C-alpha cells in the first residue's frame, strides 16, 4: 500500500524519527514537552527492539533519528542504541540535557557513529539557568559537555528555550552559543504543551518582550552571519496563523515513546479516542500506513470550516490538533492561533494571564531519588 495525499503526488514517506528512549531525566524543566503521565523505566523497550525500529525506519525512508527523552543518557544502553541507529545508516542526533552524560560515554558515542549533539540551555545567567532547570550545577555541566562535544569534532546545536524569565537575555544566550562553538542555535520560544500548559502563566512573556526579542534576533543574524545559523521557533500565542504542526499530521515524522507506542506527535495522546499501535506488535511500516492514530488527521478530509475551504490548508494543515483540542474542546477545529478561528480571542486572554508563583517542575518521581541521580551522573 502506498500513501498519497493527492493523486499524482509521490507517496508520503517519513523523513525523521523521534526516538524517546526514556522519560527519566534529572532535570525538571517547567516547560518540558513530556506528557504529564510519564512512562516508567519498567515499560521501556529494549535495545534489540530499538535496533529493529531503526532498521525498519530506514527501509521506510527515514533519514534522521533524534535520540531524545527525557534524558537519553539515562539509558545504560545508549551507546548500543546509537550504534544500531548508525548501522541502519541513519543520521544520529542526540538531544541531551548534558546532565548524566559523562565524557567517557560521549567518547564512546562518538566511536559508535554519533553525528550531532543538541544541548539545551536554560539561560546565560548561571543561577537563573539552574533555577529554571530545577537542578543546581546544570549550567556548569552543560558548558563543560558542550566543550567536549566540540573537542571531539561532533557538530553542536544549542537549543535556547525562551520564556518570560530569560527572554530579555536572548542576545547573551546567542553569544554563549557562539562561545561554546555551536554551529547552530535554536531560539525556541516555549510551546504550550505538556508541562508548559501547567506553568503557562509563569512562563508567558509579554507582547513587548516578544517584539523586542524579534528585533534583537534580526540584529544578531547580521552580526553573526556566516559564523552561526540562528533559527527561531515563534511563540504561538502572539501569531496570526498557526504553524504546520509536525509538517502536517502523519506526513513527515514519527515519534516512538519509551514503551514503544508510535505517535504522530509527542502530545497526540492528549486527544481522547485515538488508537496508537506499538512497535512491540506491529512493524513501523504497518503503523505508518495503517494505524488509526496516523490516519485520523492525515491530509485534509477531516477538516471542518473555516479550514475545509481555506487556501492555506495545504500549507499549515489547520495547525496543531492537540492545541485545537486543548483550547476549543474539538480536535477537528482550526487551531485557535489562527485569526480566522472563532476561538482566536482566547489566545489573547491566555497570553495576558501571568503569575509570579514558583514553577511546578517536571519530575519523574519514581526514579528521582538522590541515588538514582548519582547513578545517572557517575555512569
Asked if 113 interacts with ligand SF4 (CB under 6 A), we say no
- Residues that contact ligand SF4, how many (by CB under 6 A): 26
Backbone torsions φ then ψ of 140, nearest 5 degrees: -65, -40
Binding segment for ligand SF4 (CB under 6 A), chosen from 40-48, 110-118, 170-178, 335-343, is: 335-343
Stretch that binds ligand SF4, among 24-32, 103-111, 163-171, 174-182 (CB under 6 A): 24-32
Q: Which stretch binds ligand SF4 (CB under 6 A): 9-17, 81-89, 333-341, 371-379?
A: 333-341
Is residue 287 a contact partner of residue 294, using CB atoms and an 8 Å limit? yes
34 binds ligand SF4 (CB under 6 A): yes
As measured in angstroms, the least distance from the Cβ of 282 to ligand SF4 is 27
Nearest-10 Cα torsion for 27, 28, 32, 38? 100
Q: In angstroms, rounded to a whole number, what is the distance separating the alpha carbons of residues 21 and 260?
A: 9
With CB under 6 A as the contact rule, the residue among 39, 44, 335, 373 that binds ligand SF4 is: 335
For 285-318, give one letter per residue: b (16+ CB within 10 A) or e.
Answer: eebbbebebbbbbbbbebbeebbeebebbeebbb
- 340 touching ligand SF4, by CB under 6 A: yes
265 binding ligand SF4? (CB under 6 A): no
Task: For residue 64, list its beta bridge partners.
Answer: 16, 91
CA angle 338, 339, 345 (to 5 degrees): 105
Q: Are 201 and 355 in contact, with CB atoms under 8 Å apart?
A: yes
Which range of residues in 63-71, 81-89, 276-284, 325-333 is near ligand SF4 by CB under 6 A?
Answer: 63-71
Per CB under 6 A, 29 contacts ligand SF4: yes
Q: Does 25 bind ligand SF4 (CB under 6 A)?
A: yes
Q: Give first-to-last CA distance, the chain, whole Å.
A: 45
| Sheet with strand 184-189: strands edge to edge | 229-233, 184-189, 155-162, 116-121, 91-96, 64-68, 16-20, 253-256, 262-263
Q: Is 310 among the residues that bind ligand SF4 (CB under 6 A)?
A: yes
Interface segment toward ligand SF4; rule CB under 6 A; list 57-65, 66-74, 84-92, 103-111:
66-74
Residue 226 neighbours by CB distance under 10 Å: 5
Question: According to the binding rule CB under 6 A, does residue 52 interact with ligand SF4?
Answer: no
Interaction of residue 70 with ligand SF4, rule CB under 6 A: yes
Residue ranges in contact with ligand SF4 by CB under 6 A: 25, 27-29, 32, 34, 69-71, 97, 120, 241-242, 306-307, 310, 312-313, 316, 318-319, 334-335, 338, 340, 362
Amino acid at each position: 500500500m502506498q500513501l498519497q495525499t493527492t493523486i499524482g503526488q509521490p507517496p508520503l514517506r517519513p523523513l525523521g524519527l523521534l526516538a524517546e528512549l526514556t522519560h527519566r531525566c534529572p532535570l525538571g524543566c517547567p516547560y518540558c514537552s513530556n506528557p504529564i503521565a510519564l512512562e516508567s523505566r519498567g515499560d521501556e523497550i529494549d535495545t534489540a527492539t530499538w535496533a529493529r525500529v531503526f532498521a525498519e525506519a530506514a527501509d521506510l525512508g527515514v533519514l534522521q533519528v533524534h535520540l531524545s527523552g527525557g534524558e537519553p543518557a539515562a539509558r545504560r544502553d545508549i551507546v548500543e542504541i546509537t550504534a544500531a541507529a548508525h548501522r541502519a545508516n541513519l543520521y544520529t542526533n542526540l538531544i541531551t540535557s548534558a546532565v548524566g552524560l559523562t565524557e567517557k560515554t560521549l567518547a564512546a558515542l562518538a566511536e559508535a557513529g554519533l553525528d550531532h549533539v543538541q544541548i539545551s540551555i536554560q539561560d546565560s545567567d548561571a543561577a537563573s539557568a539552574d533555577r529554571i532547570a530545577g537542578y543546581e550545577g546544570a549550567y556548569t555541566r552543560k558548558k563543560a559537555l558542550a566543550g567536549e562535544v566540540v573537542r571531539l569534532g561532533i557538530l553542536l546545536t544549542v537549543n535556547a528555550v525562551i520564556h518570560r524569565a530569560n527572554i530579555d537575555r536572548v542576545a547573551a544566550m546567542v553569544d554563549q552559543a557562539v562561545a561554546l562553538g555551536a554551529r547552530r542555535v535554536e531560539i525556541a520560544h516555549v510551546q504550550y504543551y505538556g508541562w508548559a500548559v501547567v506553568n503557562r502563566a509563569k512562563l508567558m512573556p509579554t507582547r513587548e518582550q516578544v517584539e523586542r526579542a524579534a528585533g534583537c534576533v534580526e540584529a544578531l543574524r547580521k552580526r553573526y552571519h556566516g559564523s552561526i545559523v540562528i533559527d527561531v521557533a515563534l511563540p504561538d500565542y502572539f501569531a496570526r496563523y498557526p504553524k504546520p504542526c509536525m509538517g502536517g499530521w502523519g506526513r513527515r515524522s514519527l515519534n516512538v515513546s519509551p514503551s514503544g507506542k508510535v505517535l504522530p506527535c509527542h502530545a497526540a495522546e492528549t486527544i481522547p479516542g485515538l488508537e496508537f499501535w506499538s512497535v512491540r506488535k506491529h512493524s513501523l511500516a504497518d503503523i505508518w500506513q495503517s494505524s488509526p492514530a496516523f490516519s485520523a488527521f492525515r491530509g485534509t478530509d477531516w477538516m471542518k470550516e473555516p479550514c475545509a475551504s481555506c487556501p492555506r490548508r495545504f500549507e499549515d494543515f489547520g495547525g496543531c490538533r492537540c492545541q485545537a483540542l486543548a483550547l476549543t474542546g474539538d480536535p477537528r477545529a482550526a487551531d485557535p492561533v489562527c485569526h480566522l478561528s472563532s476561538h482566536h480571542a482566547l489566545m489573547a486572554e491566555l497570553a495576558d494571564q501571568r503569575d509570579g508563583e514558583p514553577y511546578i517542575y517536571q519530575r519523574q518521581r519514581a526514579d528521582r531519588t538522590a541515588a538514582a541521580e548519582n547513578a545517572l551522573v557517575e555512569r
